[in-house]
């Protein structure tokens, strides 16, 4: 234990030295490199050959002064650090750790933990306290007096010099309720820490060198757990070809940000105060930026004239085609980039993707070992009350496991053998749904050793179990939760000894297997679209997806497009290099593709052309719901869908909503059966932005269901209004069973026909036997 502690100190010292060298390097770079300034020109018009202008300063004839936003203030709740619920600390030595990582271009200068907690009134104040540790170094010891135990807030100052890249904040309860013999598991030994307690940080930003080799930093840092907000800058109104390149880059950053989420504000002819991505399609360089002449597809990292510690990633080309090549080089060839400027000479042919081969999804054609999903260190726990072992994995949402026993998981696990038979278990859960409790065996007796000897290996109990995961509990994004529960056996008064030697491990050879299940799903399903980008993410490069943009797209429509591309990248883990951006006039040429429509009734002609497919009809501020006819009502009753209730709730939202209306609509493509259309629309661009923001809010995702989602103010509801269609394929026998199970009338006809056929065959056979007997 002492060696481990010394190693941690040495590691901390190395991190501090490295950060000091980064600060020194930043100072040298700031003093040795000239800073670019820019002026805002006031001409009302310019020729086609005039350089694009980027606003970087106020309207003045003086050059813009360089600003350095070196200091920032952040705050995290313990919930944001991973405590999904209030932290309960039990036993004489309850302990819980939370992880916090820091960006490479930031140094913490001050840190404070604003801790809100309560504790048992039965604790002895002189013997009990709450310890706060940072990277196993004691930061504070908080007294637990009898008064104020119902709720107390303390400010704990943390030593900023103790922070490293990966940090561990630990809360440890030292609790005693008696001065004599005590039960270490007594019910009075508890403390509760609110997960709304805040960690407040003050950081200083470092100025990094202009080097493409650092990518994706500083635009995205894997150590930063916050949501990625990265502005996209266009010197002028972009056309669809330029937007396509921007979408490719956005999907790459979306894949990098993963669970954090990403937002891409659009800026025209202006610069952000922080980091940003600029796309330039033309032979001239925007005025005020220190860039070489554009002579082909190229990439550059330059300092932001508005902030000395911020950077601009510039993607350049003389035309949209070269810009697209530069975007592909950025997203697929980052490992080969170096220096502040790179000219892309050529790009190797990019292999075509296959259906369902997205890197963000686990393979569904073979068994997948847990070694592919988690590190060994994340699959082991220790202590009498250990935390859950969590394994995240994503699968295509159209896995068809109807009437199956479940998805087989071959689980191998090890643990400290129980000294006596008790109630210890390994509980298996999926997405917070309980599946099975596996009992943990005790040490075998002398007689049992001959029979159960293989149970023990190196002093640990080894077990294997095939656990069937119910398919109803599996979604596109999943978390396997394995929780060791170790029972505590009381020896008697003054005989209890608290060893705390319990250990549990899940072997990396454990596997989960989806290979026996076909891909088949009912659409439209907006939950699939919002959570998993399906069916568009079926091809990782989005080669079967076309986005229909308005003819005059505004900032809200462009931000919606970039956000969607970022979410697609998050799901697939691959840039959307082969999607298409088209206009309404050319949609017929893309009939064999899944379509995404973005726009309002005033600037998206397809909304009027396909009005018969859509609920509701949005037209210049008016909202109309199509009343279903008798045949539609009959079909809905047959499908066990309460269409009248859906119409009533939708009408209530429209009439009583506290704002304009935004909508997400899904239906089968009018151009080709089996293809999908999803429409992001609203009364105005603001409503499109609102419903797009709700799609990125995890707390609102449960409202995105059915084939229609409407938002008015803060109210969001999902409805099932139209008919369903199916994508994928089934084996013929399964397809027949599935069809008959959903069509009882056909099943009755089929049974009657089969009975008649059997009767005819039996009658002819018996008649033949009778004729033979009569002839004899």
The pLDDT tens digits for 571-599 are: 999 999 999 999 999 999 999 999 999 99
CB distance 91 to 134 below 8 Å: no
Closest residue by Cα to residue 255 from 218, 223, 216: 216
Do residues 601 and 676 both lie within one domain? yes
3-state helix, strand, coil in the chain (%, to 5): 30, 30, 40
pLDDT digits (tens, 9 = 90+) for 469-503: 998 899 999 999 999 988 877 766 676 666 677 88
CB distance 149 to 173 below 8 Å: no
User: Which ranges constitute the DSSP H helices of 547-602?
Assistant: 555-572
In-domain check, residue 93: yes
Confidence at residue 195, expressed as pLDDT on a 0 to 100 scale: 93
Task: Please state, in angstroms and as integers, the Cα–Cα distance from residue 194 to each residue in 77, 168, 171, 172, 188, following that order.
Answer: 9, 18, 12, 14, 18
Task: Please state, in angstroms and as integers, the Cα–Cα distance from residue 37 to each residue in 62, 218, 347, 756, following that order.
Answer: 10, 22, 34, 90
As a dihedral over the C-alpha atoms of residue 537, residue 543, residue 547, residue 553, rounded to 10 degrees, the angle is 110
| Plot region of 148 (φ>0 → left; ψ -120 to 50 → alpha; else → beta) | left
Query: Could you give the 3-state DSSP secondary structure of residue 568?
Result: helix
Task: Give dist(CA 40, CA 406) in Å, integer.
Answer: 65
Question: Which comes out higher in pLDDT, residue 382 or 678?
Answer: 678
Phi, psi angles (nearest 5°) of residue 370 = -65, -20
Angle at 176 between CA 171 and CA 181, to 5 degrees: 140
CB distance 512 to 503 below 8 Å: no
Give, for 407, the enclosing helix (H) or strand (E).
Answer: strand 407-415
Task: Please state, in angstroms and as integers, the Cα–Cα distance from residue 589 to each residue in 583, 592, 679, following that order.
Answer: 11, 8, 19
pLDDT of 21 above 80: no
Do residues 582 and 654 both lie within one domain? yes
In-domain check, residue 229: no
Check residue 704 and report its DSSP letter.
-
**Burial readout 657-674 (b: 16 or more C-beta within 10 A, e: otherwise):** beebbbbbbbbbbbbeee
Closest residue by Cα to residue 302 from 124, 687, 527, 38: 38
Is residue 289 exposed (0-12), middle (13-18) or buried (19+ Cβ within 10 Å)?
A: buried
pLDDT digits (tens, 9 = 90+) for 161-174: 999 989 999 999 99
Most confident of 61-70, 321-330, 710-719: 321-330
In-domain check, residue 562: yes
Confidence at residue 5, expressed as pLDDT on a 0 to 100 scale: 42
Do residues 629 and 531 both lie within one domain? yes
Confidence at residue 643, expressed as pLDDT on a 0 to 100 scale: 64
Do residues 635 and 687 both lie within one domain? yes
Q: At what angle do helices 744-775 and 732-742 cross, to 10 degrees?
A: 110
Q: What percent of the chain has pLDDT over 70?
A: 82
Other C-beta atoms closer than 10 Å to the C-beta of 715 total: 14
Pairing of strands 580-582, 545-548: parallel
Residue 681: beta bridge partners?
A: 663
Check residue 283 and report its DSSP letter.
S
Q: Which of 9-23, 81-95, 552-566 has the lowest mean pLDDT?
A: 9-23
Residue with tokens 């999926």: 430
Check residue 63 and report its DSSP letter.
P
Confidence at residue 29, expressed as pLDDT on a 0 to 100 scale: 42
Q: Which of 232-236, 423-427, 707-711, 771-775 has the lowest mean pLDDT?
A: 771-775
Do residues 748 and 705 both lie within one domain? no
Is residue 337 exposed (0-12), middle (13-18) or buried (19+ Cβ within 10 Å)?
A: middle
Do residues 714 and 600 both lie within one domain? yes
Confidence at residue 644, expressed as pLDDT on a 0 to 100 scale: 64
Pairing of strands 520-523, 380-382: unpaired
In-domain check, residue 61: no
CB distance 326 to 80 below 8 Å: no
Confidence at residue 151, expressed as pLDDT on a 0 to 100 scale: 86
CB distance 660 to 682 below 8 Å: yes
In-domain check, residue 613: yes
Residue where one domain finishes, among candidates 205, 229, 246: 205
Query: Could you give the 3-state DSSP secondary structure of residue 186?
Result: coil
Other C-beta atoms closer than 10 Å to the C-beta of 652 total: 12
Do residues 643 and 623 both lie within one domain? yes
Confidence grade of residue 617 (pLDDT, cut at 50, 70, 90)? low
pLDDT digits (tens, 9 = 90+) for 117-174: 999 999 999 999 999 999 999 999 999 998 888 889 999 999 999 999 899 999 999 9
Task: Give dist(CA 298, CA 765) in Å, integer.
Answer: 82
Confidence grade of residue 691 (pLDDT, cut at 50, 70, 90)? very high
Residue with tokens 């002839």: 775
- Going through 120-174 in order, the beta strands assigned E by DSSP cover 129-134, 137-143, 152-158, 166-174
Closest residue by Cα to residue 330 from 579, 540, 575: 575
User: Which ranges constitute the DSSP H helices of 399-464?
Assistant: 446-452
CB distance 108 to 201 below 8 Å: yes
Non-local (6+) Cβ contacts of 559 within 8 A are: 263, 264, 265, 266, 689, 692
Question: Which comes out higher in pLDDT, residue 542 or 225?
Answer: 542
Do residues 550 and 677 both lie within one domain? yes
Do residues 426 and 454 both lie within one domain? yes
Q: Which domain holds residue 715?
A: 520-728
Is the bond preceding residue 203 a cis peptide, omega within 30 degrees? no
**Burial readout 172-182 (b: 16 or more C-beta within 10 A, e: otherwise):** bbbbbbeeeeb
pLDDT of 446 above 70: no
Closest residue by Cα to residue 206 from 18, 23, 17, 14: 23
Query: Could you give the 3-state DSSP secondary structure of residue 3?
Result: helix
Phi, psi angles (nearest 5°) of residue 76 = -125, 140
Do residues 525 and 631 both lie within one domain? yes
In-domain check, residue 232: no
Confidence at residue 54, expressed as pLDDT on a 0 to 100 scale: 42
In-domain check, residue 278: no
Number of domains composing the chain: 4
Question: Which comes out higher in pLDDT, residue 625 or 263?
Answer: 263
pLDDT of 14 above 70: no
Is the bond preceding residue 209 a cis peptide, omega within 30 degrees? no
Q: How high is the mean pLDDT of the chain?
A: 83
pLDDT digits (tens, 9 = 90+) for 278-322: 999 987 777 778 888 888 999 999 999 998 899 999 999 999 999
Confidence grade of residue 613 (pLDDT, cut at 50, 70, 90)? confident
Closest residue by Cα to residue 167 from 256, 94, 76: 76
DSSP 710-726: EEETTEEEEE--S--EE
In-domain check, residue 318: no
Q: What is the CATH number of the domain that holds 485?
A: 2.60.120.260
Terminal Cα distance for the chain, rounded:
100
Task: Give dist(CA 475, CA 623) in Å, integer.
Answer: 34
Residue where one domain finishes, among candidates 159, 176, 205: 205
SS (H, E, C) 615-665: CCEEECCEEECCCCCHHHHHHHHHCCCCHHHHHHHHHHHHHHCCCCEEEEE
Do residues 584 and 718 both lie within one domain? yes
pLDDT of 567 above 50: yes
Structure tokens at 126: 């002189």
Confidence grade of residue 60 (pLDDT, cut at 50, 70, 90)? very low
Question: Which comes out higher in pLDDT, residue 166 or 384?
Answer: 166
Confidence grade of residue 10 (pLDDT, cut at 50, 70, 90)? very low
Residue where one domain finishes, among candidates 190, 205, 220: 205
CB distance 404 to 471 below 8 Å: yes
Closest residue by Cα to residue 547 from 581, 583, 594, 587: 581
Do residues 426 and 535 both lie within one domain? no
């Amino acid at each position: 234990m002492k060696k481990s502690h010394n190693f941690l100190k040495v590691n901390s010292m190395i991190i501090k030295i490295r950060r000091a060298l980064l600060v020194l390097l930043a100072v040298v770079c700031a003093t040795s490199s000239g800073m670019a300034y820019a002026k805002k020109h006031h001409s009302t018009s310019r020729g086609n050959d005039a350089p694009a202008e980027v606003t970087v300063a106020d309207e003045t004839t003086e050059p813009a002064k360089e600003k350095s936003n070196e200091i920032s203030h952040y705050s995290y709740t313990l919930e944001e650090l991973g405590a999904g619920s209030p932290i309960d600390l039990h036993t004489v030595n309850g302990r819980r750790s939370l992880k916090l990582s820091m960006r490479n271009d930031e140094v913490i200068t001050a840190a404070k933990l604003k801790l809100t907690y309560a504790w048992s009134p039965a604790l002895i104040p002189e013997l009990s306290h709450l310890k706060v540790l940072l990277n196993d170094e004691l930061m504070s010891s908080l007294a637990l007096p009898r008064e104020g135990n119902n709720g107390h807030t303390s400010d704990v100052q943390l030593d900023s010099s103790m922070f490293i890249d990966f940090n561990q904040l630990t809360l440890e309860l030292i609790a005693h309720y008696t001065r004599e013999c005590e039960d270490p598991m007594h019910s009075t030994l508890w403390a509760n820490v609110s997960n709304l307690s805040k960690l407040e940080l003050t950081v200083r930003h470092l100025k990094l060198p202009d080097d493409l080799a650092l990518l994706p930093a500083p635009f995205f840092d894997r150590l930063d757990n916050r949501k990625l907000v990265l502005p996209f800058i266009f010197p002028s109104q972009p056309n669809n070809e330029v937007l396509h390149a921007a979408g490719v880059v956005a999907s790459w950053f979306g894949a990098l940000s993963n669970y954090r989420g990403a937002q891409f504000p659009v800026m025209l002819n202006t610069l952000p105060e922080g980091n940003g991505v600029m796309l330039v399609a033309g032979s001239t360089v925007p005025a005020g930026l220190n860039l070489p002449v554009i002579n082909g597809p190229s990439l550059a990292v330059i300092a932001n004239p508005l902030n000395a510690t911020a950077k601009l990633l510039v993607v350049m080309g003389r035309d949209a085609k070269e810009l697209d090549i530069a975007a592909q080089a950025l997203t697929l060839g980052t490992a080969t980039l170096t220096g502040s400027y790179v000219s892309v000479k050529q790009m190797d042919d990019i292999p075509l993707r296959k259906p369902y081969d997205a890197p963000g999804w686990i393979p569904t054609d073979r068994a997948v070992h847990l070694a592919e999903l988690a590190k060994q260190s994340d699959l082991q726990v220790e202590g009498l009350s250990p935390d859950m072992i969590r394994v995240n994995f994503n699968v295509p949402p159209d896995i068809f496991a109807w009437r199956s026993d479940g998805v087989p998981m071959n689980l191998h696990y090890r643990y400290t053998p129980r000294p006596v038979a008790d109630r210890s278990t390994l509980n298996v859960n999926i997405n917070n749904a309980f599946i099975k409790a596996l009992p943990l065996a005790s040490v075998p007796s002398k007689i049992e050793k001959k029979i159960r000897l293989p149970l023990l290996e190196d002093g640990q109990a080894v077990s294997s179990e095939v656990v069937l995961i119910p398919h109803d509990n599996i979604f596109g994004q999943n978390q396997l939760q394995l929780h060791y529960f170790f029972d505590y056996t009381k020896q008697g008064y003054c005989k209890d000894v608290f060893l705390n030697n319990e250990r549990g491990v899940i072997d990396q050879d454990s596997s989960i297997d989806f290979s026996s299940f076909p891909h088949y799903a009912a659409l439209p399903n907006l939950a699939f679209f919002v959570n998993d980008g399906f069916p568009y993410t079926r091809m990782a490069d989005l080669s079967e997806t076309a986005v229909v943009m308005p003819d005059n797209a505004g900032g809200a429509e462009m931000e919606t497009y970039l956000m969607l591309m970022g979410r697609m990248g998050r799901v697939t883990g691959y840039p959307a290099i082969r999607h298409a951006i088209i206009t309404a006039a050319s949609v017929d040429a893309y009939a064999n593709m899944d379509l995404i429509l973005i726009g309002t009734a005033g600037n998206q002609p397809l909304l009027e052309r396909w009005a018969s497919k859509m609920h509701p009809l949005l037209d210049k501020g008016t909202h109309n719901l199509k009343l279903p006819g008798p045949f539609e009502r009959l079909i809905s009753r047959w499908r066990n869908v309460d269409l009248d209730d859906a119409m009533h709730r939708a009408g209530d939202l429209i009439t009583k909503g506290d704002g304009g209306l935004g909508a997400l609509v899904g239906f089968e493509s009018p151009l080709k059966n089996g293809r999908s259309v999803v429409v992001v629309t609203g009364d105005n661009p603001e409503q499109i932005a609102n419903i797009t923001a709700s799609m990125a809010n995890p707390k609102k995702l449960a409202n995105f269901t059915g084939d229609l989602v409407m938002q008015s103010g803060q109210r969001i509801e999902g409805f099932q209004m139209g008919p369903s269609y199916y994508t994928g394929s089934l084996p013929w026998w399964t397809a027949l069973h599935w069809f008959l199970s959903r069509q009882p009338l056909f099943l009755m006809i089929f049974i009657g026909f089969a009975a008649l056929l059997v009767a005819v065959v039996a009658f002819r056979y018996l008649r033949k036997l009778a004729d033979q007997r009569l002839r004899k």
